[in-house]
Amino acid sequence: MLKLYNTLSRKKEDFKPINPGHAGMYCCGPTVYNYAHIGNLRAYIFEDILRRVLDFNAFDVKQVMNITDVGHLASDADEGEDKLMKALAREGKKPSVEAMKELARMYEGAFKKDIKQLNILDPLIWCRATEHIKEMIELIKKIDKNGYAYKTSSGLMFDTSKFKYYAELGKLKLKDLKAGARIKLDKEKKNPSDFALWITNQPNHLMQWESEFGKGFPGWHIECSAMSIKYLGEQFDIHCGGIDHIPVHHTNEIAQSEAATGKHPWVNYWLHGEFLIFGKEKMAKSGDGFITLKTLIDKGYGPLVYRYFCLGAHYRQQLTFSFEALDAAKNAYEKLTSKVIELKEKGEKAGSDDMGYLSRFAEAINDDLNTPQALALMWDMLKDEDVGNKLSLLLEFDRILGLGVKDMKKEDFKVPKDVLELLKKRDEARKKKDWKLSDEIRDGIKASGFSVLDTKEGQKVEKV
């Protein structure tokens, strides 16, 4: 039985979908005003593992991911300038609708390239905010009709005091929330936690649409409600995101969605990934020093090395990034590649027993996506001399891990030039039967992180 930690209940729960055999899953996608950093990408790796685990458990998964290309203001709580407007200024581009769209498409393309390199499965449906304005306006109309909205000079606001479940997801203490605590003080607000559904007080904003609430553009939160409901229905199974989405974005999504539909709960399972920590703080696009996947590639780390690094920590645990830790992941990934190539060359033993590894692996990943335990089981299996069908098991494990086992080939395993030179000298020493020198060279190779196997075909090298 698949168990998932539900932020809503703060405990692990058996996953029971609304429609047996099917799973509806919505993932908050990127705001395309800059390149994704590796902290962002950790969240998408976690969501990919969830998608793969659902597939592994034979669910028919309908995954939807949005692209935010309008409406996300500088603060996640509806304050400041649109992030894409700021991006135009940052890059010295003349403000225009076309320039804004062009910039959004460029960063969207870069994001999709990143997730492909990380072997993250594409969602079944990509949906851009700018292509779903009609759905947002219709949803806002329902919210307004049901008595949850009120007008101010800045637009149409959601009245959180009328929604009794507002504090539920974030376990918020609304009585302690003072005006100005989350967003700039607005004297027209009825409650400090109220948020914008439709924004009309920014005449210089490039992208605006006509509506019965005035000419303007949507608040950030409404897009996810409108698009998830369109593609997954008024109630669905799983909603994912980072832990930073809990107190504001996801809390507001629940409020407006349930206010519009009258359905409670709107989503049954809420899953949130923890931060990637860089130094003492989380990595953020707003800073100047964020690291992209391309940065890692340029430094010689393959994208799947970073994926392996992320799988070494549970998605609900903070993960501290350092290049030393990434080096350890690189060594482990190279060792795995070496082992896979050896298994592909050697072949499987007929009639081999998996010694229960597959069932234990399934238990690990079904226990709230426990990838660290799954990786440990993988290495235990590879070391177990009684297992003869190791390659088959690895391929099965990799349905979840996504480390590219099927495509690993000899040319992927590169032995450093200095180790190749040592191998050549060792071969010459062995031909001269200088066993002492041969052993000394072998020890030197081991100190470089490689082991030497003497076979009928000659010397073979493995990552230690």
Distances (CA, A) of 28 to 170, 238, 335, 343: 17, 11, 34, 39
Same fold across 3-273 and 293-411: no
Q: 69: closest CA among 142, 132, 156?
A: 132
The DSSP symbol for 232 reads H
The single residue listed with the structure tokens 């009928």 is: 456
**Domain residues of the chain, as ranges?**
3-273, 293-411, 415-463
Task: Tell me whether strands 79-82 and 73-75 are parallel, antiparallel or unpaired.
Answer: antiparallel
Look at residue 454 in the predicted model and tell me its pLDDT.
75
Answer yes or no: are the C-beta atoms of 78 and 219 closer than 8 Å.
yes
Global pTM value: 0.87
- Dihedral over Cα of 114, 120, 121, 126: its sign: negative
Answer yes or no: are the C-beta atoms of 211 and 201 closer than 8 Å.
no
Look at residue 180 in the predicted model and tell me its pLDDT.
47
C-alpha to C-alpha distance for 111 and 106, rounded to whole angstroms = 9
The dotted CATH code for 3-273 is: 3.40.50.620
Look at residue 396 in the predicted model and tell me its pLDDT.
96
The dotted CATH code for 293-411 is: 1.10.730.10
Look at residue 283 in the predicted model and tell me its pLDDT.
65
pLDDT along the chain (464 residues), means of 10: 97 98 97 94 98 98 95 64 85 90 95 98 97 98 98 96 96 70 69 94 90 94 97 98 96 98 97 91 66 95 97 98 96 94 82 84 98 98 90 96 92 67 78 78 75 72 67
Answer yes or no: are the C-beta atoms of 365 and 56 closer than 8 Å.
yes
Tokens of 248: 């504001």
Look at residue 346 in the predicted model and tell me its pLDDT.
84
The single residue listed with the structure tokens 């482990």 is: 332
